[in-house]
Copies of this chain bind each other. A is one copy, B any other.
Amino acid sequence: MEKAGKHIGGIPEPTLRRLPKYIDLLKELQKTKIKYVSSNFIADKLNLDSIQVRKDLAVTGIIGKPKLGFDLDELIRSLNHTLNWDNLNDAFLVGVGSLGSAIIGYSAFSSYGLNIVAAFDNDPQKVKKTINGIEILPVTKLAEMIRRMKINIGILTVPAESAQAIAEEMVEAGIKAIWNFAPIHLSVNKDVIIENLLLTQSLGLLTHKLSAKLKKDSMLMFTNH
């Protein structure tokens, strides 16, 4: 019963967001002969602070070796484990438009813990087709199949108008986490995990920063002489 007692909060979200970057970098390194990697090296490559990198890696439970750094293979394993990427999480995708197709077509997700089992659409033209080995089924079968196959993850790539309804159907059928690409706020029972991926959120940052920079640059042109 060691270390029982109160469960102290989870991993900070900013930290979680950096973990995939570490993994991508470290996998690159794996192609070389390097066996150990220091927090300083990682920080340098990713433009981060080495203290922050050490703090981040610490959440995975890995213990580094003073003077050497972290064992590369072990580090990748711990990071993957923290994200649960050492398991394959079964998922259904709904909405086989261009974005949905792109996601189904991206085979690399299996390295990131995601196994898309089937896709659903309401367009009869698309049904029965197969993309990347993944069958497209009529959306009328969605709920029944979620129940039957005990699927936990739903990927929502439908238009905004249908997103809430499909989300509700998913949750009703037992989906525990939704990866939502529709630009709309889903209201569901609060113990369902919703992860929104809004392309426009990222785009907004870009366009805002760009316009701020262009404005600043043109001001400098006038004041600097």
Contact = CB atoms under 8 A, between A and B. Distances in A.
A193 B210 contact: yes
B45 A200 contact: no
Contact of A208 (B84, B160, B201, B212): B84
B21 A201 contact: yes
Interface string A212-225: 11100000000000
Interface residues of A, number: 63
Q: State the oligomeric state as a number of copies.
A: 2
B113 A207 contact: yes
Interface string A101-120: 11101100100111000000
B105 A207 contact: no
Interface stretch (A11-19, A32-40, A63-71): A11-19
A210 B102 contact: no
